[in-house]
Structure 1
Amino acid sequence: MDKKTTTAERLWTVEDVSRYLGVPVKTLYQWKWRGEGPP
């Protein structure tokens, strides 16, 4: 019987997104609170 392994992609943390976009973590939280930010 073959073993199937399921893998989920790792979700990005706030720090990951901050580094990717080049903005401070605080900015991400402000965008979320205001309902703004990149699409």
Structure 2
Amino acid sequence: MLFLKGGKIEMKREKREKMTKVLVVVMTIVFIASILPMFFAR
């Protein structure tokens, strides 16, 4: 029982880490997309 509970908690942690990684990637893409027009404007 304890082992199963620990596994579930670890699964949740892994999912959260994946979500944060996806968020970081999305934020970087949005950041680059917002900066690119400034470079092209020059």
Give the TM-score normalised by structure 2: 0.26
Which structure would you say has the larger Rg? 2
Q: Which has the higher helix share?
A: 2
Task: State the structure with bigger RCO (CA 8 A, min sep 6), 1 or 2.
Answer: 1
Give the TM-score normalised by structure 1: 0.26
